[in-house]
Amino acid sequence: MKRLLILALAANCAICVTNNAHAAGFYFSDRGVRPMGRAGAFVAGADDLHSIWYNPAGLSEAGTGLLLDFAWLRFGIDYSRELRVLDADGTYKQFREQTVSGRSPILPLPTIAGSYQFGKEKQWTVAGGFFAPYVALASFDSTVNGQPSPARYMVGTFDGSALGNFGTWVAYKPVKQLSVGLGVQALAGMIQTDVTFTASPQDRLLGAPEQPEFDANARAKVGPFFAPSANVGITIIPSVWMRIGLSAQLPTFIDTAATVQMRMPTSAIFDSAKQVGDQAHIRMQFPAIMRFGIEVRPSDDIRFELAYVREFWSIHKTIEIENTGMRINGVVGMPPEAKIPNLSMAREYEDAHSIRAGGELRSTIGGYKITIRAGASYEQSAIPTPYLSLNALDFEKVMLTVGGTLYVGKHWALDAVYAHMFTSSVYVPPAEAKIPRLNPLKGNAENEPVNGGQYDSTADLLGVGVRYSF
């Protein structure tokens, strides 16, 4: 029993490294202030520096310029956990706990890019840039009505984390009817998170499964890492009133070192326990993305695009964790040391599809040129219901967006966007839930998943930006 306890504690050192590495729904929405004004329907119509993400062929129309914008994903989640417990007499009992609420911090997510167009007929455009993914992060109180929060085993803090894509792109336009583009980029940064887990054996020989004195805390630092990828795109203009765009983003593979520092439980048997070594290695995959769009331009002032996007999240099946030196020494009544086992965490994500429609109308008001834009989209969730949890949030969603641009002089364009996401409520039946409490070694009791219950979320996107054309 005690050997189980120390191995469970040690194994959780590795779990905490990756519990939140997926950043709680890595791509909760698409990105960019101007493109999101069109609900992400910006593949065939891509013609500014946002093309580096949507379709690099669109850089051929971006000219020489600069782009800076910031967006805030205002995200909230209410969660009522339901726990299914097997009693000693073999009877299942189900408990519904108090609702816990999480809200996102004010975190402006940037896009910074610049381009330069050259050549005899300005056929070539090169660009460089940096952008952060629009992630759904939520912070939770550590207690609810004076009791430890039921969310504590599924979500932690992300203070000190930094994550983004940067790269270089080139576009070539040999004739007016055709543009092609290529980019080389990398997801880079560091994820730092604090995670709570339990060191109480699941067979209840020492205490209840969520007894607070067996709670431990670990601070995990994943990276710094550098995960290269690439994207390509093509834009075809068969007539003055129609454009066809197609682009593809290659998958991203993260293979990086991680460090873990633990705070032991307050139970007396851990009074002299200590961690030796802090190294682990993490492997995971993020998806390829395919985009297709058709834009019509019945006049110079009107654009409308219909786009389809598929994100190949089915590549994200597991997170592999290899121990490269961590062990726990000095637990009372235990052998002198216990090495942490290697782990494979099931994720079982699925491909996600979305349909987007959006358009723009240019006009003049009070002597100023403006563009008004709006759009709507429908997107599936990549996370199967049994695997939904507070550290992996994604929902089926419908999004409505509005935005606009004010042109100042010959060079400046000021952008803004507001989007509301109607997200589906999801109920995870406790009997079907798949995410266990952070204590992976079973003992004699059944492993009790902790992600069952009701999930209700809200999300809005607000953003502003500026573009300058030379």
Tokens (6 digits) for 447: 């492993």
Taking residues 223-244, report their average pLDDT.
95
CA-wise closest residue to 21 among 392, 351, 352, 288: 392
Q: Each residue of 87-137: pLDDT tens digit?
A: 766 677 788 888 888 888 888 899 999 999 999 889 999 999 999 888 777
Per the CB < 8 A criterion, the answer to whether 139 and 107 are in contact is: no
Cβ neighbours for 147, distance < 8 A, ≥ 6 positions apart: none
Average the pLDDT over each of 272-281, 326-335, 374-383 and give the range with the smallest value.
326-335
Residue found under tokens 């969660």: 79
Where residue 8 falls among pLDDT bands split at 50, 70, 90? very low
- The Cα 422–Cα 13 span in angstroms is 37
Q: Which comes out higher in pLDDT, residue 333 or 347? A: 347
Nearest to 403 by CA among 420, 425, 422: 420
33: its two tokens: 């202030």
- In angstroms, the first-to-last Cα distance of the chain is 71
Q: Tell whether the model's pLDDT for residue 3 goes beyond 80.
A: no
pLDDT at position 205 is: 55
Nearest in space to 459 (alpha carbons), one of 136, 141, 155, 151:
136
State the average pLDDT over residues 363-391. 92
Cβ distance 46 to 57 under 8 Å? yes
Task: Please state, in angstroms and rounded to a whole number, the distance separating the CA atoms of residues 186 and 190.
Answer: 13
pLDDT at 277: 84
**3-state secondary structure at position 54:** helix
Task: Classify domain 2-469 by CATH number.
Answer: 2.40.160.60
Are the CB atoms for 36 and 71 separated by under 8 Å? yes
Q: Is the pLDDT of residue 168 over 80?
A: yes
pTM, full prediction:
0.88
Dist. CA 211–CA 255, nearest whole Å:
35
H runs (alpha helix) in 71-214: none
Give pLDDT, residue 66: 98
Domain spans, the chain: 2-469
